[in-house]
Structure 1
Amino acid sequence: MSSDAVAAVTSELGTVSRNRRQEETFRKVLAAGVEMLRESSYADLTVRAVAKRAQVAPATAYTYFSSKNHLIAEVYLDLIKQVPFFTDVNDSVVTRVDNVLRALALVVADEPEVAAACTTALMSGNDAEVKPVRDRIGGEIHRRVTSAIGPDGDPRAVSALEMAFFGALVQAGSGAFTYHQIANRLTYMVSLVLGDR
């Protein structure tokens, strides 16, 4: 997906509007999902079991999450959003972008069960509710990369860095490299794409 397409999708999708009570319930189910993934595995997780852990009715959990893949995709989006959104303008562009991509790449690095579940959920092609979450994840990555590059950033560089980031996640998710290894490889990609800025 091009940077322009990501920006368009993000502005169209926006965030889901929930009242305070709905947001609390949504967060309870997300938290229970993460807890359960940390204790067991993707195969053992069900929306019904997560609902029980969150102490909400299964029908309530299904109001927010149509499937376990949808739930886990939302978990990953939430983990991404928890990464501090800060870039030091005194750093070089290369350092700022490297710091952003490294922090995002390492979000599940030390939690193999969560990482495996997120990879499985996000790569599921047959869940209609996962695609919009993938698009929102792409929008979040796009926003952070463009912010780190700055207002005069070349959209082609942004697109190349996003492609490198998502390709790196696929490699880590497939087991070809660890998340720490892809973070180091992303450092190389950032300097290759951005040069000496």
Structure 2
Amino acid sequence: MSELASTGIEATRRRLTEKQADTVDRLTAAAVEVLSREGFSGTTIRLVAAAAGVGTATAYTYFSSKEHLITEVFWRRLTATPPPEPGDADATGRVVAVLRQVSMLVADEPALAHAVSSALLGDDPDVQHLRLRIGREIRRRLAAAMNAKDPEGLAMFELLYAGALLQGGMGLLSYEQVADLLEACVRRLLAADA
């Protein structure tokens, strides 16, 4: 990934009071529920708002689109999941652990996994902002796992991850296959460097 720039937009477009944060929590939880029932194409902000018990206009004050809402769900899942503990693993094991963890983040929820793949490709400015934040967080985790200054290697792992998850999101590979393929690629690339 290229150098990531800050856009200065809050993830949910503004700072939240405790009550507003509760509303956003309800909306993100309801989004997962609606997605599992309706799929990505059938999910609307109106349906999510109804499931969360809030008005549609209220939902739109927090989320500009369903893509924004779904990307927020993924962002929250990512940041709520601490990076894997390095333990005694070498750099290869640490990179594999990071990529496997992020790959499997929504693997048990096929509707959400498909929706995240579609949502992250959106051109909504709020999605773009979150996509940058997600990319920064994954880059941070990979760089820490590599424990070396290797911008080219880091870029290769980011590209591998993005391509593999796109294949998972399109249904060409299961997320378990994505994680296994990423592991094989990392092992081959780092063995070639040794």
Give the TM-score of the pair, scaled to structure 1: 0.87
Residue pair 2:92, 2:187 contacting (<8 A) in 1 also = yes
Deviations along 1:107-142, one digit per CA (max 9) or x if unpaired, are 1222211111111111234x2321111111111111
- 1:110 partner amino acid: D
* Distance in 1 of aligned mates of 2:55 and 2:122: 26
Partner of 1:130: 127
Larger displacement relative to structure 2 (23-32 or 76-85): 76-85
4+ aligned runs moved over 4 Å, structure 1: 12-16
* Distance in 2 of aligned mates of 1:168 and 1:188: 12
Partner of 2:16: 18
Partner of 1:190: 186
Deviations along 1:136-190, one digit per CA (max 9) or x if unpaired, are 111111111112122x331211111011100101111122211111101100121
Deviations along 1:41-86, one digit per CA (max 9) or x if unpaired, are 1122111111111112222211110111111111121222232323
Q: Sequence identity, in percent? A: 39
Partner of 1:40: 38
* Distance in 1 of aligned mates of 2:6 and 2:190: 26
1:153 is aligned to 2:156: no
Superposed, which structure 2 residues align to 1:98-109 within 5 Å? 98-109=96-107
- Judged with a 3 Å threshold, the aligned counterparts in structure 2 of structure 1 residues 9 and 189 are, in CA distance, closer, same or farther, namely farther
Partner of 1:177: 173
Partner of 1:93: 91
Quote the offset at 1:89 in angstroms.
Answer: 4.3
* Distance in 2 of aligned mates of 1:63 and 1:129: 12
Q: CA RMSD in A?
A: 2.0
Number of corresponding residues: 191
Residue pair 1:160, 1:193 contacting (<8 A) in 2 also = no
* Distance in 1 of aligned mates of 2:20 and 2:189: 43
Structure 1: gaps spanning 5 or more residues: none
- 1:158 partner amino acid: L
- 2:56 partner amino acid: P
Partner of 1:27: 25
- 1:181 partner amino acid: Q
* Distance in 1 of aligned mates of 2:89 and 2:179: 19
Partner of 1:168: 164
